[in-house]
Structure 1
């Protein structure tokens, strides 16, 4: 430990780091950082490390190894490692950890094959779930949330932000609008865009709006598209709906030999505890993969889902080289 360092507990460091970042990050992102750093702090406590001065590159690597042994995917570890690096770089600046520790956070290297194959929620499974809801819970709030997430490929926060005024059924499109501070988009104004909707999806949303949508306003007097009885649904409530909808027992048999009467994942707010349930981001990934399987150009998908073309091409295209060739052949038939 360097004599130049000021003693500080991991919890104090996290609190200062989050306060420092509040001016530059959305509250939703702050919450994500808090969750990731909480896991790091809890591990340090279990290891008996109570002073940030005592951290080293070896400590951080041991934490990553612990995460791997706990079953955390390499993709998740890679994504979270950027938060740990930023946190430790801040701790360097306030003289709580040794100089250079932030740069010793090694970001795991993943090849494109690992990244593209990380998406285990297949488009076909989403389509099966939607068929179930179109038949048995048509135009319900649950149905509309999943229908729009899969049709658009948007983030859950973007759908949460949509107002009735942003939805244009006659012209068959809706808009994503960045409105600080209540309903920000992940990429601020760069995430704003109009999104074309199919005739079938508009019909479903219209039936929801006219029959099942609660005629309420949120705390700011705005009329959300997706509502609860009390106003705009929270992002966490919408996320929980997706977890519940992707439980296999909701539309078939449980593949885990669990009794639905006693399964903890059937409890309110605990849908994520089902091994087969999936998050809204997984639905977004499935939607992007579906678009690419239809040979929709990456530049078009990029604009629709608000992601870079490079990411779309590298990580969301699971077609084999042969499948791509056959689709190009169909496009090039005009040359014959």
Structure 2
């Protein structure tokens, strides 16, 4: 088969366009980010045509990437590159079978499992602080819902006012890609999540007293809103980074020895620079661990957070050996 001259940027554009038909915007963003690094490497190597990409160059890329990122990040990048190379085979830009020579970066089991987690005690302290000083604010409601339900931020952002069922009470998570709020697992991510009455009361107070009366660009009424419309995922993330800085909820003391009057992480846009702040996903891990420690069955927890049992057990349940032993104790029989 004769190869067709193909500039790397052109191949990347065609690849992403094909992917857009069946993956989420977040996934496209991740693909785009990984391929930017790959194309940056090819440019440094003076490669202007995908025809000149071979297995040796791909191995060189892996080595170059490992100089600046963790193995787990490199592994994810290599998987994207492998898929991209396979697409390039279909447009006759690289030899058929080249993608089979792309070997994902090896990582240890410890590296594969992220340890970033918010503990139950930390969550209780944060929510107590927010309930006292920022009651029914966006930050309070964001943190409360994520902690009490373990949902993804994509699901949280997708909620509309009509998705709040006050009678049960519950939140109804729905996949609406045509109006800008797809769920990661699409229709499989749809579910109703029951709330306790205390959480429901805070949400109702937010709706009645705090939430601006706005619609988004698609004419929908988002639950979480600013005066500009539906909150962006980045805004949700920044609120969590801010809420989880230790000095925010522990009386202003920095456990890392920083001056709390001049620390750069005090700014809303820089809160993620605090070594004690965590991402929204840490609340998801924390919820799963706390729920399992409280005796909530694995399948119930998995269905509530929309997650398979194997993924839950390996990546999200961070219970200690002692906690896991205690969970099993009630089922043990003397034999």
TM score, norm. by length of structure 1 = 0.87
Q: Deviations over 1:41-85 (max 9, x none)?
A: 223323433332222223223333333321x33333333433222
Of residues 15, 21, 39 in structure 2, which corresponds to 1:23? 21
Give the whole-Å Cα distance in 2 for the aligned partners of 1:290 and 1:284: 10
Q: Against the structure 1 CA distance between its residues 49 and 311, is the aligned structure 2 distance closer, same or farther, given a 3 Å change threshold? A: same
Q: Deviations over 1:280-311 (max 9, x none)?
A: 22322222222223232211111011111111
Question: 1:192 matched to which residue of 2?
Answer: 190
Q: Deviations over 1:179-229 (max 9, x none)?
A: 122211111111110001122211221221221111212222221110111
Of residues 185, 207, 210 in structure 2, which corresponds to 1:209? 207
Give the whole-Å Cα distance in 1 for the aligned partners of 2:257 and 2:151: 33
Question: 1:129 matched to which residue of 2?
Answer: 126
Give the whole-Å Cα distance in 1 for the aligned partners of 2:246 and 2:65: 27
Q: Secondary structure at the match of 2:303?
A: helix
How many residues are treated as equivalent by the alignment?
A: 331
Give the whole-Å Cα distance in 2 for the aligned partners of 1:329 and 1:200: 31
Query: Contact 1:154–1:284 (CA<8 Å) still a contact in 2?
Result: yes
Q: Secondary structure at the match of 1:195?
A: strand
Moved more, 255-264 or 135-144: 255-264
Q: Secondary structure at the match of 1:194?
A: strand
Q: Offset at 1:86?
A: 1.3
Question: 2:61 matched to which residue of 1?
Answer: 63
Query: Contact 2:51–2:94 (CA<8 Å) still a contact in 1?
Result: yes
Q: Name the Cα RMSD after superposition.
A: 2.7
Question: 2:272 matched to which residue of 1?
Answer: 272
Query: Contact 1:5–1:95 (CA<8 Å) still a contact in 2?
Result: yes
Q: Secondary structure at the match of 2:206?
A: helix
Question: How is 1:137-216 mapped onto 2 (pairs within 5 angstroms)?
Answer: 137-181=134-178, 182-216=180-214
Question: 1:33 matched to which residue of 2?
Answer: 31
Give the whole-Å Cα distance in 2 for the aligned partners of 1:125 and 1:287: 12
Question: 1:46 matched to which residue of 2?
Answer: 44
TM score, norm. by length of structure 2 = 0.87
Query: Contact 2:65–2:74 (CA<8 Å) still a contact in 1?
Result: yes
Query: Contact 1:155–1:281 (CA<8 Å) still a contact in 2?
Result: yes
Give the whole-Å Cα distance in 2 for the aligned partners of 1:259 and 1:105: 48
Q: Offset at 1:249?
A: 4.0
Question: 2:231 matched to which residue of 1?
Answer: 233
Query: Contact 1:112–1:315 (CA<8 Å) still a contact in 2?
Result: no
Q: Secondary structure at the match of 1:221?
A: coil
Q: Against the structure 1 CA distance between its residues 76 and 153, is the aligned structure 2 distance closer, same or farther, given a 3 Å change threshold? A: farther
Q: Secondary structure at the match of 1:178?
A: coil
Q: Offset at 1:10?
A: 2.2
Question: 2:241 matched to which residue of 1?
Answer: 243
Question: 1:99 matched to which residue of 2?
Answer: 96
Question: 1:312 matched to which residue of 2?
Answer: 312
Q: Structure 1 stretches of 5 or more lacking a match? A: none
Q: Deviations over 1:220-243 (max 9, x none)?
A: 222111011122112222223223
Q: Deviations over 1:10-59 (max 9, x none)?
A: 22221111111111222332222212222222233234333322222232
Q: Against the structure 1 CA distance between its residues 297 and 250, is the aligned structure 2 distance closer, same or farther, given a 3 Å change threshold? A: same
Q: Secondary structure at the match of 2:192?
A: strand
Q: Against the structure 1 CA distance between its residues 178 and 100, is the aligned structure 2 distance closer, same or farther, given a 3 Å change threshold? A: same
